[in-house]
Amino acid sequence: MEVKYYEIDPDGDVLLLLRTAKQEDESSEDRESANDEPKAETPNERMETEKRETECSGDAKMYSPRDGRQLEVTEEDWKSGPFLILMNIIHGRTKKVPRTVTIDVLTEIASLVDYYECLEVVEIMAEIWTSKITIPHVTLKDIAQCIWLSYTFRWESKFKTWTKRAILTLEGPLYTQGLPIRDRILNEIQERREESIERIVAYLHGLLAEFTKTEPCCTECSCMMLGALTRALSMMHLLSPRPSRPFSRLNLRDMLDGLAKIYSPKWYLKYHGREAHKCSLESIIQPTLNSVTESITGLELENFVRPEPISRGSLRSSQTKD
């Protein structure tokens, strides 16, 4: 298999090896076929041991290889393109950093940023990149990616916008496209979606029962609206069987659009009458429709991220002022 070598820092003392899952499997087979006798610890293995011991101890000193040797660090399943972009940003090689990237590449970079916790280094470039990305036709993949990007780069407004879009358009749990979106976010999106759909379904079936048993103003009016509502619910697949959680294959946006289009036929008290009867299904449903629509909001980013740590300098300054 072809091996590509990229030099980020000529004076660097770390060699990063990017392996794919296939390469790892091949390496495992090679190791299994090799002699099982104990082997002496290699220099790199010794340095790895020293690094782990340093990290586990109470000493906060930075680790650095000794005797001029390079430390080899193996990372798995990262794509080389996004990884190289991140390394160039970290090392200040801005001329080699592209000014535009696709949403797929930016999503890969976001996963690296989240894993290595290097948001502050990348956030300016992330804002430049995202300002040049357009999504002509939004898909569920786009929604998952945009939620992940807005979470990773701490874009509060975008996070709220895209999570609301997920609540409105999903027909079940959000497929994450393999992205490490936090379970708390996924669960909250699904819960809000189900709560809103349940509220609509309960209201409509309650209204159906009311028209069956009581008369809003007269028998003719009740029969007219009962028929119109029954037909509308049947067309929206909300009549029988009555939908229940998790409301698979139902999405809020279609339901709200369908309810906004519900109407009851106009009818007149007299055969040659000019004034239509004042009761209508639209006027009865509209207040609840408005209430549900207003209650659907996106998630607040601050509820899903850890607060920024307070530096010792900031703490000392605060104590001095007090």
* Residue 220 vs residue 61, higher pLDDT: 220
Q: Which of 55, 77, 99 is the last residue of a domain?
A: 77
Is residue 275 one of the residues assigned to a domain? yes
Q: What gap in Å lies between CA 209 and CA 186, rounded to an integer?
A: 35
**Residue range 31-54: average pLDDT?**
45
**Residue range 123-135: average pLDDT?**
96
The confidence score (pLDDT) of residue 73 equals 76
- Partners of 200 in the β-ladder: none
Quote the percentage of the chain above a pLDDT of 70. Answer: 75
pTM of the model: 0.78
Is residue 82 one of the residues assigned to a domain? no
Q: Is the pLDDT of residue 115 over 50?
A: yes
The confidence score (pLDDT) of residue 1 equals 56
The confidence score (pLDDT) of residue 24 equals 46
3-state SS assignment for residue 40: coil
Is residue 148 one of the residues assigned to a domain? no
The confidence score (pLDDT) of residue 97 equals 97
**Residue range 61-90: average pLDDT?**
76
Locate all alpha helices (DSSP H) within the chain, ordered by sequence. 21-33, 43-56, 80-90, 103-116, 119-131, 140-152, 156-169, 183-213, 219-235, 252-260, 281-295, 312-321
The confidence score (pLDDT) of residue 17 equals 80
Q: Is the peptide bond before 246 cis (omega within 30 degrees of 0)?
A: yes
pLDDT bracket for residue 75 (50, 70, 90): confident
Is residue 203 one of the residues assigned to a domain? yes
Segment 248-266, tens digit of pLDDT: 999 999 999 999 998 887 7
Q: Is the pLDDT of residue 313 over 60?
A: no
Is residue 312 one of the residues assigned to a domain? no
Segment 297-312, tens digit of pLDDT: 999 999 999 876 554 4
The confidence score (pLDDT) of residue 270 equals 66
Helix axes 80-90, 103-116, angle to 10 degrees: 60
Segment 169-214, tens digit of pLDDT: 999 999 999 999 999 999 999 999 999 999 999 999 999 999 888 7
The confidence score (pLDDT) of residue 269 equals 66
pLDDT bracket for residue 86 (50, 70, 90): very high
Is residue 201 one of the residues assigned to a domain? yes
- Partners of 71 in the β-ladder: 14
**Residue range 115-124: average pLDDT?**
95
The confidence score (pLDDT) of residue 14 equals 77
The confidence score (pLDDT) of residue 142 equals 97
| DSSP 8-class letter at 246 | T
With contact defined as beta carbons under 8 Å apart, do 100 and 44 qualify?
A: no
Is residue 264 one of the residues assigned to a domain? yes
With contact defined as beta carbons under 8 Å apart, do 310 and 214 qualify?
A: no
Structurally, how many domains does the chain consist of? 2
Q: Is the peptide bond before 241 cis (omega within 30 degrees of 0)?
A: yes
Is residue 251 one of the residues assigned to a domain? yes
Question: What is the total residue count of the chain?
Answer: 322
**Residue range 139-148: average pLDDT?**
97
Domain range holding 225? Answer: 195-295
With contact defined as beta carbons under 8 Å apart, do 159 and 150 qualify?
A: yes
Which range scores top for mean pLDDT: 44-48, 206-210, 272-276? Answer: 206-210
Core vs surface per residue 287-315: b (16+ CB within 10 A) or e: eebeebeeebebbebeeeeeeeeeeeeee
